Amino acid sequence: MFKTKMIYIITIADAVLYLFSVVTFLFTKTELALTIWEMLTIVSGPILLFAMLHLSHDLNQSVIIRYAVLGFMTCVCLLTAVAHVVNICVTRRLIAVGVDVPKYFRIGQWPSVEMAVDYLAWGFFMGLAYLCLGLSIVKNERKKNRIRIASIICGCMCLVGFFGALFINENLWYIAPMAYGPGIIVICILAILVGTDS
């Protein structure tokens, strides 16, 4: 029980640090703040992967659902790493030495290759992982069903952000971060409070 709670606490701490890094960058607009934000984004993928796997296990989901969560979260981790490592190691370095990198190869610009990869990770695959987590709502498990319902809401938010940014308006993307930022905090708090591993 302690280890599972610890994973949820680490996930909450990571999400809070992530949100703090976003706010810090938005106010300072410094390269250091951007680097910290991007590094936390890369680190957050594996942390969320472990949290989602523990939630899936604690919710007594079938092996196939657990594998689906693992597969979707692995996509989140890999695509996130690709987008942000390329931005840190290539795009930003080229810009720093005066190369005019086209906007369609920059994070923070839309449309761009790096943003499309990031949206695919955190919108599409994270949304599918959340929806898998929300599967199998069972009678007489009201406390666990709260976690499942919150997961379904977060999954829908991620997918609305993803498809909204692609097909309607890029500003609809900002619905998705509410799911993997504050949303995961709510889910982890629910998991701790209801004692899903008991």
d(C-alpha 99, C-alpha 34), whole Å: 19
Residues 54 and 117 sit within 8 Å (Cβ to Cβ): no
Task: Give tens-digit pLDDT for 98-125.
Answer: 999 998 888 888 889 999 999 999 999 9
Instruction: Give, to the nearest 10 degrees, the angle between helix 142-167 and helix 184-194.
Output: 170
Count of residues for the chain?
198
Q: How many CB atoms lie within 10 A of CB 57?
A: 14
Total domains in the chain come to 1
> Of 4-8, 81-85, 177-181, which range is least confident?
4-8
Residue 90 domain boundaries: 2-194
Residues 192 and 146 sit within 8 Å (Cβ to Cβ): no
Q: Which secondary-structure segment (H or E) carries 27?
A: helix 2-28
Q: Which of 124, 131, 135 is nearest to 159 (CA)?
A: 124
d(C-alpha 117, C-alpha 41), whole Å: 13
Q: Which of 37, 67, 51 is nearest to 9 (CA)?
A: 51
Task: Give tens-digit pLDDT for 20-77.
Answer: 999 999 999 998 999 999 999 999 999 999 999 999 988 888 899 999 999 999 999 9
* pLDDT computed for residue 196 by the predictor: 47
Task: Give tens-digit pLDDT for 122-167.
Answer: 999 999 999 999 887 666 677 788 899 999 999 999 999 999 999 9
Residues 101 and 91 sit within 8 Å (Cβ to Cβ): yes
d(C-alpha 64, C-alpha 68), whole Å: 6
d(C-alpha 127, C-alpha 47), whole Å: 16
Q: How far lies 54's CA from each of 7, 49, 62, 113, in Å? A: 8, 9, 13, 32
